[in-house]
A and B are shown apart, each in its own frame.
Chain A
Amino acid sequence: MKKNTNVQREPLTDTQLLMTITICIFIGMYLLAMLFLGGGFLHAQQIFDMLNDNASLIIVTFGLTIVMIGGGIDISVGAVTSLVVMSCVLYLNNGGNLFVSVLLALGIGLAFGVVQGFLISYLEIQPFIVTLAGMFFARGMTTILSVNPQKVDHEGFARLRDSKIEIPWLGYVAKNGNLVPARIELGVIVALLCLVFIFILLKYLRLGRDFYAMGGNQMSALMLGINVKRTRFLSYLISGLLSGISGYVFMMHTGAGNATNAAGMEMNAIASSIIGGTLLTGGVGNVIGSFFGTMTLTTIKKIVVSSGLNDPWWQSITTGGMLCFFILLQSVVLGQRAKKKSA
């Protein structure tokens, strides 16, 4: 006897609906690119390249998604990433230890998370101002450390940087007849691990549910007995920690530090989160959506480049247009649902 044969299927929540829209658009866009542009889009390596290049952006976007679900904003993430890269590069070049450099990256990220989280949740200062100051501080510290680009010349790190996972059966045959296996960098694995961890955190752990409750309605969350201050503090802490991880992944990808590293990354991350269905008002969002948001943003850029719009301004203009499309779509879809509910 099945109990729920006659029970209506539960309607999708806002989070699930927005995420589904994003995933569908991403898949549709990619299929169209495969059909009409062909070329690189037909190889599996294209997807892996997108992942390799954007692993750090993906990680940062996860942190931002958590903060945004909790109803806050963190615009220091890109600058912290850049500071972590520069610090680790200088540390490694001065004869540092590989393991300690990882700890250094995590430590810097955590420090930013702790200070910003404390100021925002316990001193009740507006998150935009605090993280703006954090961004200024991190950018300034990066240039104080070094204005000139620095390349890592550390043996252990070089081995770590060059170690890649190769999958021969997903590779393609190059023009000279050699089989080029598909390559995945270690950073992508880190990003995917983060995805799994944060997915479990948001879906099954109490802390994750608290984030949604706090972002949805702070007063109700307080009345439900949630420690709102601590929860908010932890959201910024996680975001800071993820910026630290992202910085190390960024360094593993580029192998060099530069004061202009990760410029504008915070806005890219916010855009990815929004495309992935996270609302800045809080309470709605999902890391899987954010992952596909980042991939959508990257795919648009790739499509613009390979469809021959070579003028430098087209990438940003189409990104802006796409962002506009997604924002309007979300506004209209959610508006319709709200109307239906109240009717």
Chain B
Amino acid sequence: MKNQTKKVFSGGLGQLTIPLVAIALLVIFNLFRDPSFFSIGIMHNNDGNIVLSGNLISIINGASELAILAMGMTLVTAACGGQDISVGAAAAIAGSVFVKILKSMPSITGGTVVLAFISACIVAMLFGTFNGTLVAVFKIQPMIATLILYTCGRSIAYWINGGATPTVSSPIISGIGSFIPGIPIPTPVLIVVLAAILFRLLFHFTSLELFTQSVGINGSAARLNGINSTFIKLLSFIILGICVAIAGTIGVSRLGLINHETLLLDVEMDTILAVAIGGNNLGGGKFKIGGSILGAYVIQMLTITLYAMKVSSTDVKAYKAIVIILLVVIGSPVVKARVSKLMSQLRTAKAENLTKGAQ
């Protein structure tokens, strides 16, 4: 019992230490700065619905796309030991397909939205398969393989859009992007919860989690044990493709338009960061999807805190970088080893003093 509590205090939270410490620090900082940061209000939005508002709501709402992408990215990172840097570009393509299908329909109904979403999913999964084939079959480093789509993805989206930024407006679309009448919680948040539950069920009913970890830790050993490591890697990219389609759809629905340049801009970097802050090894192997989701909220919380401090949106990056470096320095194995060594030295010194005092 005593041992267990000790374990928890000496970093026994395992890989969730960094995101939880980061959230705690941000909460404490905001409490000192301005306690009203945490107030949650109830208000009527433009459509007359009763909705929740406040900084906390905008944090969990704004991080939705990032959280969904981080879930898929965790799987790719764990299986392949590398990251997909094309998620932003692929989301732009998925969003373009979504809008293109909706535009070609005579009217926007529930059925056509579902159809458009499924088409976006299929296209995103195809691009995922493309990336996955390069990585799994041709044994190319994930970052290099996805550099191809990163380079040309947004241009492909521009091409699908026909050189314009088409708009869609419909109660269904705004329902996906903001609030469904009668429910005070933003819809993207609900989608994140749904996605997290789906992942949980997937891991519960299949051996995907175990297989992915073993492929990530040692691909050839996994293959000798009868796991098809090529297929697992491919599958991780296809699942990421579905996540990309969901994120793209949410992104388009928020604004009601598709802009190939700005939709989910730089999201690939934030996604990889969320995975890393979540304590997952970027070299593959063991992973926790919960960590990545927390990582996504850390990033968004940091951004909203900076906005609340009147930092302009272009300058946020510099402050974000400082916090990131601080976090990873705290989490680095070398620093951890140094600190624990120092602590044990202090403890022995204290014990010696005590024994001396007793004498």
Binding site for B on A (CB under 8 A): 73, 119, 122-126, 128-130, 132-137, 139-141, 143-144, 147, 259, 267, 270-271, 274, 280-281, 311-317, 319-321, 323-324, 327-328, 331-332, 335
Contact = CB atoms under 8 A, between A and B. Distances in A.
Interface stretch (B29-37, B99-107, B312-320): B312-320
Contacts of B276: 126, 129
Lowest 7 A-B CB distances belong to which pairs? A140-B318, A320-B152, A140-B317, A137-B321, A316-B155, A313-B155, A136-B321
Contact of A323 (B148, B316, B317, B318): B148
Contacts of B147: 267, 270-271, 274, 323
A81 B314 CA distance: 17
Given A317-B155, A321-B152, A311 B163 contact: yes
Contact of A327 (B140, B154, B155, B312): B140
Contacts of B159: 311, 313, 317
B335 interface: yes
B148 A320 contact: yes
Given A124-B332, A136-B324, A319-B151, A327 B273 contact: no
B269 interface: yes
Contacts of B97: none
Contact of A119 (B144, B318, B325): B325
Interface residues of B, number: 46
Contacts of A316: 151-152, 154-155
B206 to A, nearest CB: 29
Contact of A130 (B148, B154, B328, B334): B328
Given A137-B317, A137-B321, A137-B322, A129 B273 contact: yes
Contacts of A323: 147-148, 151
Interface string B242-279: 00000000000000000000000000010011001000
B139 interface: yes
Contact of A267 (B145, B150, B320, B333): B150
Given A126-B276, A133-B324, A319-B151, A274 B332 contact: no
B56 interface: no
B113 interface: no
Nearest to B158: A313
B80 interface: no
Contacts of B329: 119, 123, 125
A320 B90 CA distance: 14
Main secondary structure of the interface of B (DSSP, over half): helix
Given A136-B318, A139-B317, 18 more contacts: A73-B143, A122-B334, A124-B332, A129-B272, A129-B282, A133-B324, A136-B320, A136-B324, A139-B318, A140-B314, A143-B315, A143-B318, A313-B156, A316-B152, A316-B154, A317-B155, A320-B152, A320-B155
A267 B156 CA distance: 18
A317 B316 contact: no
Interface string B147-184: 11111111110110001000000000000000000000
B324 A328 contact: no
Interface string B327-340: 01100111100000
Most chain A CB inside 10 Å of its own CB: which residue of B134, B153, B273, B321: B321
A132 B276 CA distance: 12
B314 A128 contact: no
Nearest to B320: A136
Interface in B105-149: 134, 138-141, 143-145, 147-149
A267 B318 CA distance: 20
B83 interface: yes
A259 B314 contact: yes
Nearest to A116: B325
A120 to B, nearest CB: 10
B152 A317 contact: yes
B138 A128 contact: no
23 contacts: A73-B143, A119-B328, A123-B334, A123-B335, A128-B143, A129-B324, A133-B321, A133-B324, A133-B325, A136-B321, A140-B320, A143-B315, A147-B314, A267-B147, A280-B143, A316-B155, A317-B152, A317-B155, A319-B152, A320-B148, A320-B155, A327-B134, A328-B138
Most chain A CB inside 10 Å of its own CB: which residue of B140, B272, B316: B140
A124 B334 CA distance: 7
A124 B319 CA distance: 22
B133 to A, nearest CB: 10
Contact of A128 (B83, B139, B153): B83
Contacts of A124: 332-334
A327 B332 contact: no
A267 B151 contact: yes
A331 B317 CA distance: 36
Nearest to A311: B163
Contacts of B141: 280-281
B74 to A, nearest CB: 15
A335 B317 CA distance: 41
Contacts of A128: 83, 143, 272, 282
Interface string B212-242: 0000000000000000000000000000000
Contact of B144 (A122, A140, A321, A327): A327
B148 A126 contact: no
